[in-house]
Structure formats: C-alpha cells, structure tokens
Amino acid sequence: MGKLITFEGGDGSGKSTQLRLTADWLTSIGKRIITTFEPGDTQLGAKIRQLLLSGEDVPVPECEMLLFLADRAQHVREVVQPALQRGDWVLCDRYSDSTLAYQLAARKLGAADELLRQMLTFAECGVTPDLTLWFDLPVSAALERMRQRQQAGEKSTRLDDEALSFHQRVTAAFASQAEAEPGRMMRVDAVGDIKSVEQQVHHIIRTRFSL
C-alpha cells in the first residue's frame, strides 16, 4: 500500500504551494506520486465544487457539509483508493480535517458531535491519512495573502470571502484537532518564507517515514 499525506490549513496558508514542492521532492527520491485535491478532482466532483464555491447558489450549512462529504466519497473511491492500492504516495490538498474545521466548527454544526464525526469517517470509505500537515498561519497574515492574490487577478471563492470571525474559528478548529491527534497531525509554522516552510515539511516527512 502507498501513503496518504493530507495538506491542511486555512485559505492563504501556503499548503497548495508546499504540496507541489513536496511532490517534486518525493518524485526526485524515487517515490511514485499522485497529487489531488478536494473538492472537485473527479468529473462528478467538479460539478459539486461549482455548487459549493461559485456563490451562484448558497447552500445552507447542513447541505454544504453533505456536498463536501459526497465529493469526498467519490474522490476516495475513484482516485485515492486505487492509487494507494497501486503503491503510490497520494498528496491531497484538503481532506476530512477541513470539513471538521470549516463546516462542523466554523459553521457551528457541532465540532464535538459524535454522529457528525461518524459521517466524516463514513465518507472516507476506510481511507485515513498516514500523515496530516497543518500549515498554521495567523488569520491576519492569511487574509493579507488572499488580498494580494486577488489583486493579482485570482478569483476568490465563496469561502474565501467569509467574515474574519469565520476564518478565526477555522484556525482554532485546526489547532484543536492537532492537539487531539498529535500522532497524525503535525503543525507546520507557515509564517516564514517558502523555503523555510519547505524545510520543515521535509523534516517531518523524513522523520515519519524514515526517508
């Protein structure tokens, strides 16, 4: 079996950049790598992503969560599981921790609700991360990065445009999850430049998988 490494953090934390760099590094040392993301990295998932993030229609929080879980189940069965069974390493931009942080916590659906957590597990179809990297960045810095990206022409999503308090709840939820599962979820200080953050990522992965 391969390995599943998930990249988590608030919008603007740099996780997507680090995923690409990590893929290049692991490929250079001989690992077979698949990079993927949620929501939207299947044909069906792309349609779900449009519903979720375009802002054309705004789902109520309960509907939003269920759409994310539907995307995840499709994604796991169609992309993640087959890759792991081939022995590939899968690097995934967002997974269940994002649903917990954004929907259960920030949307106030009930981050401690056992039934909702069981629903997250159900949508994983038996696939849990071997390692989760949480890119921790103060909300003020993350919002400034997002502002700069928008000025450069990148279109924001509906979730990007949420209120400051929403993004603060997201960050707090990631911190709580990392504290609850220190064996799986490792904090990366995302304040520094790209290279310093990359070095942290390499150290964590080398240590975890004895590379």
195 assigned ligand-binding residue: no
10 assigned ligand-binding residue: yes
Buried b (16+ CB within 10 A) or exposed e, 11-22: bbbbbbebbebb
Q: What is the pLDDT of residue 140?
A: 85
* Tally of domains in the chain: 1
Strand order in the sheet with 185-189: 33-37, 89-93, 3-9, 131-136, 185-189
Q: What is the pLDDT of residue 56?
A: 82
Residue 67 belongs to domain with CATH number:
3.40.50.300
Q: What is the pLDDT of residue 143?
A: 77
pTM: 0.94
Q: What is the pLDDT of residue 141?
A: 87
CA–CA gap between residue 201 and residue 192 (Å, rounded) = 12
Domain interval for residue 60: 3-209
Q: What is the pLDDT of residue 85?
A: 98
Q: What is the pLDDT of residue 91?
A: 98
* Cβ-proximal residues to 49 (8 Å cutoff; 6+ apart), any chain: 39, 40, 71
196 assigned ligand-binding residue: no
Point out the residues of the chain with pLDDT beneath 50: none
Q: What is the pLDDT of residue 48?
A: 96
110 assigned ligand-binding residue: no
14 assigned ligand-binding residue: yes
12 assigned ligand-binding residue: yes
Tell me phi and psi for residue 170, to 5 degrees: -60, -50
